[in-house]
Amino acid sequence: MPSRSQTKATLFVTLLISLFTLLFGEYFTAEPVTLTSTKSNNLPLVFDKAQVVDVVDGDTIKVKALDTSPEFVTTPTYVVRLIGIDAPETHKPNAPKECYGEEATEYLGNLILGKTVTLKKDKSETDKYNRLLRYVYLDDVFVNEALVQNGFAKAKAYKPDISMHDVLDASQGLAIQKSAGMWGNCAP
């Protein structure tokens, strides 16, 4: 038979869990994306909403998760590679900056820096550089497509993450037709 102190402890824990569920239960009812651990962190991560804290280049950003699991006290920064696109390089070692790379970086920064975005996974979690691979949405704007449609990136299929390739490829066709961005300003 449990002692009186054990019964009180059990009651206290039950009340605490009930209070926690009542106060924060709404945060655990959605179906967020589950991410694998990163090299620097072995804990599993769960989030799909993030704040963009830096724009590395025209197809790579840094984010902080907004809806992480409760076990995290601090939110780490994650590097996200926008999938299905390839923007001109600006940071490739031993190589010159590519035409329209700076413009692509500036466009992406103006569009999403400091804003809350939604991250959507295709098939892969990360690439060989341990960057999260995601489609990025700002409200109704499919950011990956906006970059392609305005000539700041090319549509590029990276298997197995190709579920949006047809959309991105069609947007590239339109960008080429109207000589948008790199298509009107860079030599082939």
The span from the CA of 136 to the CA of 49, in Å, is 10
The span from the CA of 75 to the CA of 91, in Å, is 26
* 134 part of the active site: no
* 103 part of the active site: no
Strands 85-86 and 49-57: unpaired
* 81 part of the active site: yes
Catalytic residue among 81, 103, 134, 145: 81
Q: 114: helix, coil or strand?
A: coil
Catalytic residue among 103, 131, 134, 145: 131
Query: In 3D, which of 154, 180, 64, 187 has the Cα closest to residue 116?
Result: 64
Structure tokens at 183: 């298509």
Catalytic residue among 89, 98, 102, 106: 89
Cα Rg, the chain, nearest whole Å: 21
Point out the residues that are catalytic: 81, 89, 131
